Chains A and B, each alone.
Chain A
Amino acid sequence: MRLWLEKQRHLIDFTLASLARRKTKNIGLLLAYMLLVFVLASLMLFTHALRSEAAYVLASSPEVIVQRMVAGRHDLVPPDYLERIGRVRGVQKMQGRLWGYYYDPVLNANYTFMARPSGEIADGGIMVGNALARERGLSTGNTISFRSYSGKLFTFEVLATLSPDSELLSADLVLLSENDFRRFFEYPAGHFTDIAMSVANPQEVRNIAAKLGKMLPDSRPILREEILRTYESLFDWREGIVLTVLAGAILAFAILAWEKASGLSAEEKREIGILKAIGWETSDIIRMKSWEGLLISITAFLGGVLAAYVHVFHFGAAVFEPVLKGWSVLYPKFKLLPTVDGLQLITLLFFTVFPYMAAVLVPIWRAAIADPDTVMRA
């Protein structure tokens, strides 16, 4: 075992020295390798970050949301629904929600207005999302006026800006009191936008949703897990599509790796011949060359992943944003929460290191079986 370790150390030493001697030859391959890792890693880190943002958003959202449908369109929930749902067994908590969109001509963007119980926010006050506050230059104590859809002007005082834990959650959010909300949008009294409920036993969610559907045929219960599933498949699907587009790049890279590994220079061939003549075995050469491949792979992988991390979490994935993000528009300085997971890294390994090693396998073997007597015959 000690001999074996010592031998591997020798082989790595030699490989490092020989890589250093052929810097210019290897640098091109290394850069292409790193670029591939970088692009794929950016893609994966970015979709994963969006995915965890979505999960984060959903974690705090209610297990079931009940909407009312009229002619296949989302409509206001009439006052008696709350009471009727309350009779379904297993419903633990239930709350009518009020929210809507407001178009602000100043920023050309939509805000989400959401009512909070009057205990939380006093009439005449609002809390605003981080991005919005930044864009409109608001801070606590300022006042701001919005012209409602009916043409009346309302002035609010900013009580607080929302914590930027997850900007996706709160960026465009405006929280105001229920009274203000109803006045601002001229919302009919007793009506709600939808109903949020939580369920005592999570295993029962589907049964309760089914009961609701029977009791209120014009209602549409939306389950949190379904939203989560939809987001997941949406992200997976987008990631898959981009990956397929990039499959050409992976293939091209594998071909480049094969080319580079088979096109040994006369100098390298001579070296392998010398090593074999002075007592290196074919499998020693294969091992040495495999170490070379592994070292290049590790360098490219680490370098690429690191660059991708910086790209995604510090520069907001400038390259992929248009392809992958694709929901609301108001995120001028949108930063993702850094998250990396093992599954992604292993998957990335299979899309980069695996094709590389597979491509250089045969060329390595071909180089290693050189006749040991060539150095004498030359």
Chain B
Amino acid sequence: MLFQPSIIALLLAAGSGVFMLACAAPFAMQVILRWDMRSGSEQQLRLERRTYLFSTLLAFVMASQLAALLLFVFNADRLAVMFVGAMCAVGTLNVNEWGFPSLIAQITIFFLASMWLTINHIDTLARDYPLVRIKYALLLALLPILAGGFWLELQYFLNLKANVITSCCGSMFSAESKTIAAEASGLAPEPALWLFYISMLAAIAASLGHWRSGTRSSAFLTALFSASGFATAIAGVLSFVSLYIYEHPHHHCPFCILKPEYDYRGYWLYIPLFAATAAGLGAGVTQVFARRSSLAGVVPNVSRRLAGLALCAFLIFTGAVSYFVLSSNLVLLEH
């Protein structure tokens, strides 16, 4: 392992997230087993008050997860110097087989935590807390995922040995190699562009539709298109957006756009994209519980507001992408 401050910080953050949630797990069990909304007993009151701790805890885990994601990518970029052939974050993540799985796990944890917080939010709006048991069962389910993410990160860093020959983004995304990221950028820019705009249009249309109508099916559609929109958006960044930003026909790296050399333009893409996806998923996941009587009045409102948020964020994201493409000096497509 490389003995390096940022790595220690990342492991510390992931480790304490797991630790805190593990400490909270027995209490979550108690909530599942003993919850009785009708009871006026002191024990019920204690359980009720404990729920505040969990939501605070998870909000904290989610916030630190977001910061950790950023640190993870930054750190990978800085470490590139340590590995022969690695020229940016992609090369570093490729040093061993744990790099990209670890990154994906962290993104997944972020979205899962955001969905849990959305469910938690609608539950606290209903007077009988109808989702308490489901919520805490989900929390317990989140624990192994969090632990898994920590384990992946640990494996990645433990197996990080300087001087291993790695491919950098130049060769990694060449059409020959068969990894997922390679396939995404292996798409020719033109079909990728079409796919990207079609799927952004779908996500925007679905969230606009749900924002206006608020029906159950439109909510699920919003979630579906948000998730697929996230995937195609990342593929789009790999296959053509990055090229336009770097003004270089072979530089596909999705991380270098976060750097000052490129005016931090990546943040204009990733912040709206993550927000849009989290909101879109939230709009769908709340709708799962819309049939509960006490939530019937709550869910449509929340779900529609989330769809509105997703709509705005997708619009910003698509607008930013279009702007970067149009203002670039690179010509990829013949007009």
Chain A residues with CB under 8 Å of chain B are 44, 206, 225, 228-229, 232-233, 236-237, 239-241, 243, 282-283, 286, 290, 342-343, 346-347, 349-351, 354, 357-358, 361-362, 364-365, 368-369
Query: Is B52 a contact of A283 with CB atoms below 8 Å?
Result: yes
Query: Is A229 a contact of B49 with CB atoms below 8 Å?
Result: no
Instruction: Knowing A236-B5, A240-B3, A343-B6, say if A350 contacts B81 (CB, 8 Å).
Output: no
From the candidates B5, B55, B64, B81, name the one contacting A347 in the complex (CB within 8 A): B5
Residues on A with C-beta less than 8 A from B20 are 358, 361
Inter-chain CA distance A233–B55, complex, in Å, is 40
Instruction: Knowing A343-B74, A365-B52, A368-B52, say if A354 contacts B3 (CB, 8 Å).
Output: no
Query: Is B3 a contact of A361 with CB atoms below 8 Å?
Result: no
Query: Is B84 a contact of A236 with CB atoms below 8 Å?
Result: no
Residues on B with C-beta less than 8 A from A237 are 3-4
Residues on A with C-beta less than 8 A from B2 are 233, 236
Q: How far is the CB of A197 from chain B (nearest CB, A)?
A: 19
Q: How far is the CB of B211 from chain A (nearest CB, A)?
A: 15
Q: How far is the CB of A233 from chain B (nearest CB, A)?
A: 6
Q: How far is the CB of A185 from chain B (nearest CB, A)?
A: 35
- Which 9 residue pairs across A and B have the least CB separation, nearest first? A350-B9, A240-B3, A369-B49, A343-B74, A236-B4, A365-B53, A347-B6, A346-B71, A347-B9
In the complex, B10 has a CB within 8 A of chain A: yes
Inter-chain CA distance A148–B1, complex, in Å, is 48
Q: How far is the CB of A284 from chain B (nearest CB, A)?
A: 11
In the complex, number of A-B residue pairs with CB atoms less than 8 Å apart:
86
Residues on A with C-beta less than 8 A from B64 are 354
Residues on A with C-beta less than 8 A from B4 are 236-237, 239-240
Inter-chain CA distance A211–B57, complex, in Å, is 58
Q: How far is the CB of A116 from chain B (nearest CB, A)?
A: 30
Query: Is A206 a contact of B84 with CB atoms below 8 Å?
Result: yes
14 example contacts (A-B, Cβ-Cβ < 8 A) are as follows A228-B81, A229-B82, A229-B162, A233-B2, A233-B82, A240-B5, A243-B5, A283-B52, A286-B52, A343-B6, A347-B5, A350-B9, A354-B16, A368-B52
Residues on A with C-beta less than 8 A from B77 are 343
Query: Is A361 a contact of B56 with CB atoms below 8 Å?
Result: yes
Residues on A with C-beta less than 8 A from B56 are 286, 290, 361, 364-365
In the complex, B248 has a CB within 8 A of chain A: no
From the candidates A240, A290, A357, name the one contacting B8 in the complex (CB within 8 A): A240
Size category, B interface: 20 to 34
Question: Please, which residue of chain B has its CB at the minimum distance from the CB of A242?
Answer: B5
Residues on A with C-beta less than 8 A from B74 are 342-343, 346
Inter-chain CA distance A133–B43, complex, in Å, is 79
Query: Is B52 a contact of A369 with CB atoms below 8 Å?
Result: yes
Instruction: Knowing A44-B5, A233-B162, A239-B4, say if A346 contacts B16 (CB, 8 Å).
Output: no
Residues on B with C-beta less than 8 A from A282 are 49, 52
In the complex, B296 has a CB within 8 A of chain A: no
Q: How far is the CB of A374 from chain B (nearest CB, A)?
A: 14
Residues on A with C-beta less than 8 A from B82 are 229, 232-233
Query: Is A354 a contact of B12 with CB atoms below 8 Å?
Result: yes
In the complex, B175 has a CB within 8 A of chain A: no
Query: Is A361 a contact of B57 with CB atoms below 8 Å?
Result: yes
Q: How far is the CB of A361 from chain B (nearest CB, A)?
A: 6
Query: Is B49 a contact of A343 with CB atoms below 8 Å?
Result: no
Residues on A with C-beta less than 8 A from B8 are 240, 243
Inter-chain CA distance A225–B9, complex, in Å, is 26
Inter-chain CA distance A236–B75, complex, in Å, is 12
Query: Is B53 a contact of A346 with CB atoms below 8 Å?
Result: no
Query: Is A350 a contact of B10 with CB atoms below 8 Å?
Result: yes
Inter-chain CA distance A342–B247, complex, in Å, is 24
Q: How far is the CB of A57 from chain B (nearest CB, A)?
A: 15
Q: How far is the CB of A224 from chain B (nearest CB, A)?
A: 11
Instruction: Knowing A229-B162, A343-B78, A365-B53, say if A239 contacts B5 (CB, 8 Å).
Output: yes
Inter-chain CA distance A206–B163, complex, in Å, is 12
Q: How far is the CB of B110 from chain A (nearest CB, A)?
A: 16
Inter-chain CA distance A89–B259, complex, in Å, is 36
- Residues 62 to 97 of chain B near chain A (Cβ within 8 Å): 64, 67-68, 70-71, 74-75, 77-78, 81-82, 84
Instruction: Knowing A225-B84, A236-B3, A343-B71, say if A361 contacts B60 (CB, 8 Å).
Output: yes
Question: Please, which residue of chain A has its CB at the minimum distance from the CB of B71?
Answer: A346
In the complex, B25 has a CB within 8 A of chain A: no
Residues on B with C-beta less than 8 A from A241 are 3
Q: How far is the CB of B87 from chain A (nearest CB, A)?
A: 10
Inter-chain CA distance A282–B12, complex, in Å, is 30
Question: Please, which residue of chain A has its CB at the minimum distance from the CB of B305?
Answer: A1
Inter-chain CA distance A333–B81, complex, in Å, is 30
Inter-chain CA distance A283–B71, complex, in Å, is 30
Residues on B with C-beta less than 8 A from A343 are 6, 71, 74-75, 77-78
Q: How far is the CB of A132 from chain B (nearest CB, A)?
A: 31
In the complex, B13 has a CB within 8 A of chain A: yes
Inter-chain CA distance A362–B27, complex, in Å, is 14
Question: Please, which residue of chain A has its CB at the minimum distance from the CB of B74?
Answer: A343
Question: Please, which residue of chain A has its CB at the minimum distance from the CB of B264?
Answer: A342
Inter-chain CA distance A241–B60, complex, in Å, is 29
Question: Please, which residue of chain B has its CB at the minimum distance from the CB of A289?
Answer: B56
Instruction: Knowing A229-B81, A233-B82, A243-B5, say if A347 contacts B52 (CB, 8 Å).
Output: no
Instruction: Knowing A243-B5, A343-B74, say if A350 contacts B53 (CB, 8 Å).
Output: no
Residues on A with C-beta less than 8 A from B68 are 350
Question: Please, which residue of chain A has its CB at the minimum distance from the CB of B70?
Answer: A346
Other than the given A354-B13, A358-B20, A361-B57, 6 more pairs (CB < 8 A) read: A236-B5, A237-B4, A239-B4, A343-B78, A358-B16, A361-B60
Inter-chain CA distance A362–B24, complex, in Å, is 11
Question: Please, which residue of chain B has its CB at the minimum distance from the CB of A47?
Answer: B5
Query: Is B60 a contact of A357 with CB atoms below 8 Å?
Result: yes
Residues on A with C-beta less than 8 A from B60 are 357-358, 361
From the candidates B16, B53, B81, name the one contacting A232 in the complex (CB within 8 A): B81
Inter-chain CA distance A357–B81, complex, in Å, is 33
Query: Is B162 a contact of A350 with CB atoms below 8 Å?
Result: no
Q: How far is the CB of A42 from chain B (nearest CB, A)?
A: 13
Query: Is A346 a contact of B52 with CB atoms below 8 Å?
Result: no
Residues on B with C-beta less than 8 A from A236 are 2-5
